[in-house]
Chain A
Amino acid sequence: MVSFIPSDEQQQLIDSIRKFATNDMQPAAHDADEHGSIPAAVLNKGWQIGLVPTAIPEELGGLGELSALNGVLAAEELAFGDLSAALAILSPALFATPVTLYGTAEQREVWLPGFLEAKPPKTTAALLEPGIFFDPHHLKTTAVEADGGYVLNGHKAVVPLADDADVLLVYAHDESSGSTEGFLVNKGTAGLSIADGEKLMGLRALPTFRVSLDNVKVDAPCRLGGAVGSDFNGLVNRMRVASAALAVGVGRAAFEYARDYAKQRQAFGAPIAQKQAIAFMLAEMAIEVDAMRLQTWEAAWTLDQGEDATKKAYLAKTYADKAVMQVADSGVQVLGGYGFIREYPAERWLRNARGFAALEGIAIV
């Protein structure tokens, strides 16, 4: 039966993360962006929410509840707090979720129990590649079968927390299957090099890196899903839904701030929110945030039904990519000159919003 009212459990999840986002993430966001690092306290508290452990299969000690819907509810709230910190907090899922969904029994047993610990294992995933015209289904990074294993060659970009990662899930074009597959690459493997931190327009608090693979040799069991491989399209759908959910959070942050600002900022003897020119912008922002959210929920719900969510996930993301820019831009506009000043958060949200269309695969539900 159709309903847009979250269950009690869903509402608890929303409320607890919203509290964290408001009390811990938002106050830290400005300095984190300026200094290029997220406070450890925020990351620790974010991990304690327990999003990834919930999704770990029951037989390995988790709760076995990999719910895309819960994932988007959480992602919106985290991004409402701060997009950089949200991506860092969600980054363990970049590794854990593909392994949960498509890993061999051995891969799951080796890697997943670690995510139930007080601190998550240091992992990440590398999908994006440097350059323009990125297509996740036609990667330039290659994996060629050799000596009973694989040889990886290529370059990766915007890999979150790569400098710190003990293991990377590297996506590459598998020459034998002709599709994109994941490969588990340990830190220190010969030919794997991690360059200096990437300099981006937004997401400045999130450490991201270029990664190069020069004849990196991995054993056959390091291929995600072993001989069977993985359903990469399914993973892309989950990445797109995650991206859309994060966009909703950024859009909502920009909208709520602009709304509150417009109600207190006086001009011509009254709050500027009492002018239709401003009020109508705010109304459009509110509608677009809801439009983004409902499409994201629908796509996530479709994923949870086990149905093919390719179209829904794609439409939700393309819509959110555009809408979040409009909303974030309006957020700057409503603040006028203050919108352009880095002391205020509006311009940061605009810089962060631009990332959604430009980046792919930096989060997953």
Chain B
Amino acid sequence: MAIDFKIPEHVQQQADMAKMAAEFMMRPVSRELDENEHARPTAFAENMWPVMRDMQKKTLDRLSTPPDAEKKPERQSTSNLRLMLMIEMLSWGDAGIYLCLPGGALGGAAVEAVGTPEQKMRFLKRFAEGEVPAWGAMAMTEPGAGSDTSAIQTTAVLDKATNEWVLNGEKIFCTNGKLALEESDGLVIVWASIDRSAGRAGMRPFVVEAGTPGVKVTKLEIKHGIRASDTAAILLENARIPADNILGSPEVQREGGGGFKGAMATFDATRPLVAASALGIGRAALEFLKDTLSENGVDVPYGQPYHKLTAIQRDVIEMESQLNAAYLLTLRAITLLDQRQPNNLESAMCKQKAGKVVTQITQKAVELLGMMGYSREWLVEKWMRDGKINDIYEGTGQINTLIVARRILGYSSKELG
């Protein structure tokens, strides 16, 4: 081990392929899907399905292979690095369409992170086989519970007679909820309380499969950006699911947060991926800005003293170094994952920085390009609208700052609320 920034060649090749997909499958329909909210990027989903399906199949195959059979010398995994660069490139193409990528997504990630081997096989198989795409989703937020997940009202009660959980409540802001529940044989991870008096310790993720009676998509949000991606509201009315669709222990442990704490650890894996998407949008805006400036006779030199730069050149240099900072913080969080090292602090840091940077870069790009930046003729204004969500979902910038603060100070959530 040593400090090293070399991206392995096979990983870079995959990223280059993702960039091709972004250029030829996403950019051409980017504007059209933005203007026609709730239309589906069908061609993209169908084209990407075999890729995503085979990736999922590989992870499941590894699961069913006895560990001894493939005991290789300990090598650093590249799976998270590959995912990061792929997401960055696809989001460079179109962040809204990227979110429609078929597969388990956040729902699958939760199953991977805390599911038993049996659960992984049972739930993830649908993302590893078949000719038509399937989607997974995560439903945590409620009208009265955003960052404060202890305020979740949805309940899960075990009906011992039928050995089923009975779910009741309302979920909102569920990315791909409709694709997962009504337009494919997918699944949604629904967070519900098994003991309202236990607060966070009573919270558990449940797997709700498509076609479950009592589950209904009631609304698709109309949004500022990422309009190609559906954001669903879901109503659960006496929705019955098998007893072993609970992820983690059904017992409430009041000390140490119980199963909830373990499940929250999935954020350490998903936050850098949101950061990666932010990086892609930021890169799209910055590249376009530089190309356009160059076509208009303004090039940005690197190495000139400050007093020899114009205001626009200074802005671009600032944007570029900010983006690079966010990229490296994300690369670090991802690399730690691949090295199986703890990354709670680093993942919150990269998400906070990338969310902020993409917001600032895209807003600045619109400003610098004047009326054409503001025009819907170009995609810059869209990137500004798409970028902002990265400072909000998967923990707002403020929540991630709070996590960083707690970590560096060694404080619990009681000591620093």
**Which A positions have Cβ atoms within 8 angstroms of B?**
1-7, 10, 69, 132-137, 233, 236, 259, 262-263, 273-274, 276, 279-280, 282-284, 286-287, 290-292, 294-295, 297-298, 301-302, 310-311, 314-316, 318-319, 322, 357
Of the candidates A7, A283, A314, A322, which one forms a contact with B408 in the assembled complex, judged by CB atoms under 8 Å apart? A283
Question: How many interface residues does B have (CB within 8 Å)?
Answer: 48
Are A297 and B3 interface neighbours, CB within 8 A?
A: yes
Q: Provided the pairs A4-B3, A6-B2 are in contact, do residues A282 and B405 lie with their beta carbons within 8 angstroms?
A: yes
Of the stretches B62-70, B89-97, B172-180, B323-331, the one at the interface is: B323-331
Contact at A69–B317, with CB atoms within 8 Å? no
Interface assignment of B320: CB less than 8 Å from any CB of chain A: yes
Q: Does B409 contact A (CB under 8 A)?
A: yes
**With A287-B353, A294-B325 given, is the CB distance from A3 to B404 under 8 Å?**
no
Alpha-carbon distance between A287 and B400 when the two chains are bound, in angstroms = 11
Bound complex: CA A276 to CA B398 (Å): 10
What 5 additional pairs, Cβ within 8 angstroms, besides A5-B339, A133-B305, A297-B5?
A2-B335, A3-B3, A135-B307, A280-B405, A290-B349
Q: Determine if B125 is an interface residue (Cβ-Cβ < 8 Å).
A: no
Known: A233-B303, A318-B321, A319-B322. A6 touches B408 (CB 8 A): no
CB A137 to nearest CB in B, in angstroms, measures 8
Question: Contact between A2 and B6 (Cβ–Cβ < 8 Å)?
Answer: yes
Say what secondary structure dominates the interface of chain A: helix
Closest 9 CB pairs of A and B: A7-B2, A291-B325, A294-B328, A279-B405, A283-B404, A319-B321, A283-B405, A315-B321, A311-B302
Which residues from A are CB-within-8-Å of B4? 1-3, 301
Q: Indicate if B8 sits at the interface (CB-CB under 8 A).
A: yes
Instruction: Report whether over half of chain B's contact residues are helix, strand or loop; otherwise say mixed.
Output: helix
User: B301: nearest residue on chain A (CB-CB)?
Assistant: A314
Asked if B401 is at the interface of the complex by the 8 Å CB criterion, the answer is yes
Given contacts A2-B5, A291-B353, A318-B321, A259 and B339 within 8 Å (CB-CB)? no
- Closest B residue by C-beta to A313: B303
B229 within 8 A of A: no
Contact of A287 among B317, B329, B339 (CB under 8 A): B329
* B328 neighbours in A (Cβ, 8 Å): 291, 294-295, 298
Question: Bound state CA distance, A7 and B352, in angstroms?
Answer: 28
Q: List 9 A-B contacts (CB under 8 A).
A: A4-B3, A5-B1, A6-B2, A135-B305, A279-B416, A280-B401, A286-B349, A287-B353, A357-B306
**Which residue from A236, A263, A322 sits with its C-beta under 8 Å from B303?**
A236
Please, how many angstroms separate the alpha-carbon atoms of A292 and B322 in the complex? 10
**Are A315 and B5 in contact (CB-based, < 8 A)?**
no
